[in-house]
């Protein structure tokens, strides 16, 4: 076959200068050879797997390092903390010998390594005797616990006092570490020509920051229907650096959204209880006191209708709530903060939960398959907490959530009612907030004026 190709090519390119011609043919043959080889490789992929597992990278690394370094037999291994893991089980899995694990466990401060969490990472350097040379438990991007083998480490009096049954040795120095972090403020201004998201990405906004923005303004702006080309937003957010390297996109400090000539501003403020929320420059909470829908990923199968013919009872009976069709077991969220005032069976409602939010507002969730654990009379819940699961208990033809919204004891259509805002800035905090917001608004204005 190759000869044939060769002849054909010779015919086609017979006009070419000879040198060029041979280069070209040589090149083509080389390509064919590569394609042929890669086919063979693909066919033998199972063999290939076997081969590569025989020469594991870990085996190669020490040999390569050996050339220029005496401590080269050390291997660096990384493990993720899994369910039911302990320091012992992880080190055992990585091939560390028992003696070395005990040396570590009996070293002072080793209790810092007993609270390792699922999903976190442990990096271990293991020497040629399968002993831990050093170990790093990475709690987050800036902190964790480090253990180092120390040759002539003297136990301090303090450490000695923690000796357990005389086995404690001072082989490893175990301590917490914290890396230096630096926060940088970043300003961006985005004019929407396409969509909030696409235009944001184009201006270099990180995905997570755009998501935060959608969450902050999602209470006031319908991002599917309300956005128009020419709308714009600007914001200041933080980036967190460790050793000069960007590690995390921090929080949005202030954001301004101009939607059809209406300006919405949200300013981040940390409350005395440590939680942070967003407020308007005057201290109004940007959040509403209620979520529009208690179930995600559902569709409305029956609206609020005071003249509906009931599907089971076959007579006119007002439908005083909204039905959300969702598969059995779909989590149901409390639409607002409040107290559970009912959580048991109630006739046609089946399993029913009622939440009292304020003197004026209450919500009901019916036909639940079951209640979420811990949900009982008197329990306080926060907005978005899971309270139960969709089912079809009581008078129901299929799996759905029947949701009612009451204002002053009267049924109200939850799809059209105007929700009150969540709690504004507390009077005690007001001055501090205003001072802070004045400063950050000034910053935003400065950046905006510079960006043109
Ligand atoms: Zn219903």
CA of 413 to the centre of ligand 1 (A): 12
What band does 151 get if pLDDT is binned at 50, 70 and 90?
Answer: low
Question: pLDDT tens, 49-59?
Answer: 333 333 333 44
What band does 221 get if pLDDT is binned at 50, 70 and 90?
Answer: confident
Angle at 218 between CA 425 and CA 246, to 5 degrees: 85
* Mean pLDDT confidence for 235-259: 91
* Residue carrying structure tokens 């290939």: 48
Q: Which CATH class is domain 299-412?
A: mainly beta
Which helix (H) or strand (E) element contains residue 250?
A: strand 245-259
Q: Which CATH number applies to 182-279? A: 3.10.450.350
Q: What are phi and psi of 171, to 5 degrees?
A: -95, -35
CA of 248 to the centre of ligand 1 (A): 45
CA of 365 to the centre of ligand 1 (A): 10
45 vs 400 pLDDT, higher one: 400
pLDDT of residue 374: 93
Contact call for residues 148 and 172 (beta carbons, < 8 A): yes
Contact call for residues 181 and 241 (beta carbons, < 8 A): yes
CA of 185 to the centre of ligand 1 (A): 49
CA of 353 to the centre of ligand 1 (A): 14
CA of 347 to the centre of ligand 1 (A): 14
Among the CATH numbers 3.40.50.150, 3.40.50.970, 3.40.50.300, 3.10.450.350, which is that of 75-179? 3.10.450.350
With b meaning 16 or more CB within 10 Å and e meaning fewer, what string describes 91-102? beebebeeebbe
CA of 373 to the centre of ligand 1 (A): 24
pLDDT of residue 161: 44
pLDDT of residue 142: 86
pLDDT higher than threshold 50 for residue 405: yes
Question: pLDDT tens, 193-213?
Answer: 988 899 999 999 999 999 999
pLDDT higher than threshold 90 for residue 223: no
Question: pLDDT tens, 92-114?
Answer: 999 999 999 998 988 888 889 98
What band does 305 get if pLDDT is binned at 50, 70 and 90?
Answer: confident
pLDDT of residue 169: 65
Contact call for residues 100 and 88 (beta carbons, < 8 A): no
CA of 184 to the centre of ligand 1 (A): 51
Give me the residues near ligand 1 (ion), CB cutoff below 5 Å: 321, 323, 402
CA of 327 to the centre of ligand 1 (A): 15
CA of 338 to the centre of ligand 1 (A): 22
pLDDT of residue 7: 55
Q: CATH 3.10.450.350 in the chain: give the residue spans.
A: 75-179, 182-279
CA dihedral 384, 388, 391, 393 (to 10 degrees): -130
CA of 137 to the centre of ligand 1 (A): 52
């Amino acid at each position: 076959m190759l000869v044939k190709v060769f002849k054909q090519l010779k015919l086609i390119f017979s006009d070419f200068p000879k040198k060029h011609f041979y280069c070209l043919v040589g090149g083509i043959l080389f390509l064919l050879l590569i394609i042929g080889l890669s086919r063979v490789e693909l066919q033998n992929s199972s063999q290939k797997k076997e081969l590569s597992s025989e020469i594991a990278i870990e085996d190669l690394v020490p040999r390569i390092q050996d050339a220029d370094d005496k401590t080269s037999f050390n291997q660096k291994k990384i493990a993720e903390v899994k369910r039911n893991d302990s320091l012992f089980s992880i080190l055992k899995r990585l091939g560390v010998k028992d003696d070395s694990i005990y040396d570590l466990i009996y070293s002072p401060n080793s209790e810092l390594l007993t609270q390792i969490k699922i999903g976190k990472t442990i990096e271990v350097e293991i020497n040629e005797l399968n002993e831990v040379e050093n170990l790093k438990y990475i709690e987050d991007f800036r902190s964790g616990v480090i253990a180092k083998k120390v040759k002539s480490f003297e136990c301090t009096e303090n450490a000695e006092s923690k000796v357990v049954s005389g086995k404690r040795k001072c082989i490893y120095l175990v301590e917490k570490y914290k890396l230096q972090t630096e926060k940088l403020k970043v300003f961006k201004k985005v004019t929407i020509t396409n969509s909030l998201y696409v235009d944001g990405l184009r201006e270099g906004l990180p995905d997570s920051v755009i998501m935060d923005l959608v969450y902050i303004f999602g209470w006031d702006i319908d991002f599917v229907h309300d956005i128009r080309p020419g709308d714009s937003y600007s914001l200041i957010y933080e980036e967190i650096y460790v050793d000069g390297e960007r590690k995390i996109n921090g929080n949005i400090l202030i954001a301004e959204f101009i939607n059809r000539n209406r300006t919405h501003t949200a300013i981040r403020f940390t409350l005395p209880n440590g939680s942070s929320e967003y407020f308007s420059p005057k201290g109004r909470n940007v959040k509403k006191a209620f979520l529009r829908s208690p179930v995600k990923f559902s569709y409305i199968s029956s609206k609020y209708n005071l003249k509906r013919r009931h599907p089971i009872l076959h007579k006119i009976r007002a439908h005083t709530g909204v039905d959300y069709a969702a598969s059995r077991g779909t989590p149901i969220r409390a639409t607002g903060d409040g107290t559970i005032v009912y959580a048991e069976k109630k006739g046609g409602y089946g399993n029913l939960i009622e939440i009292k939010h304020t003197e004026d507002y209450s919500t009901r969730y019916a036909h639940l398959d079951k209640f979420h654990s811990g949900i009982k009379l008197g329990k306080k819940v926060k907005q978005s907490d899971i309270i139960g699961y969709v089912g079809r208990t009581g008078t129901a033809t299929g799996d759905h959530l029947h949701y009612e919204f009451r204002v002053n004891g009267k049924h109200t259509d939850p799809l059209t009612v105007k929700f009150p805002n969540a709690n504004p800035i507390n009077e005690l905090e007001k001055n501090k907030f205003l001072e802070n917001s004045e400063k950050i608004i000034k910053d935003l204005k400065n950046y905006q004026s510079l960006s043109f």
